[in-house]
Amino acid sequence: MMTRDIEVAGERLTLHAQRAIHWAAQRTVLVADVHFGKGAVFRRAGIAVPSGDTEDDLARLDALIATFAPLRLVVLGDLVHGAATERSAWVERVRAWRLGHPGVAVELVAGNHDRHFDVASLGIEVRPGQVHTPPFVFSHHPGVHTEGYTLAGHVHPGVTVRDGWRRHRLPAFVFDDDVGMLPAFGTLTGLHEVMPEKGRRIVAVTPAGLLPTQRPGRSGQG
């Protein structure tokens, strides 16, 4: 199953296996932690990682836009990974991608990595701090906000799922009472394993689709 509808703060949200959320009532798609340029940073440091991560991530964004036809795309922090110049290949490519979607408002809720590059130069609106869109607060860091239910990134949440004797570490959506966390969208991002807790909803992202691993009111995976 590539999508799964859940209710959060009284709103229906659609989780997508491309590590995104669609909020149909507001025609809004949410992603977090894209980290454009991370592969280039690694290669400059002498770490051998394959190229093409930017193209892969832009193709996935294109697919989400084609599927949901949103009016708004919100990135919950860390759109970019590190310092870059106008000569960086990914900068030119992302700018061209942005120009190709004039009907979609693209916003960045600034994250800690975004200070390394002028994201506004890509044609993307940068929103410092948090963005209050009732009943949600869009944030990079997953803190509790009195203005609404927080949807955030930053943590790169993941879970370990067992398949017989095998163990798989997978990205995951995590929803607690006051804060929800999106998995990192970027191809070259790592995982921070989150633990099951009572009342916590966890939906793992597998190659075959979405897999709920914990239901509300349970204290363990099942």
Residue 4's nearest CA partner among 199, 185, 175 is 175
Domain boundaries, the chain: 3-214
Q: How do 157-163 and 166-175 pair as beta strands? A: antiparallel
pLDDT at 42 over 60: no
Sign of CA dihedral 84, 90, 92, 97: negative
pLDDT reported for residue 188: 62
pLDDT of residue 169: 86
Max CA pair span of the chain? 52
| pLDDT of 141 over the 70 cut | yes
DSSP run (H or E) holding 92: helix 89-99
Q: At residue 44, does pLDDT exceed 60?
A: no
Give the distance from CA 136 to its chain's centroid. Answer: 16
User: What pLDDT does 45 receive?
Assistant: 39
Nearest-Å Rg of the Cα atoms of the chain is 17
pLDDT confidence band for 113 (50 / 70 / 90): low
Residue 24 pLDDT greater than 60, yes or no: yes
| CATH node for 3-214 | 3.60.21
pLDDT > 90? residue 81? no
Confidence of residue 91 (pLDDT cuts 50, 70, 90): confident
pLDDT exceeding 90 applies to what percent of the chain?
A: 59
Q: What is the mean pLDDT of residues 156-182?
A: 91
**Strand-strand pairing, 125-127 and 192-193:** unpaired
The overall average pLDDT reported for the chain is 86
Burial letters 64-82, b for 16+ CB under 10 A, else e = bbebbebeebbbbbbbbbb
Which pLDDT does position 219 carry in this prediction?
40
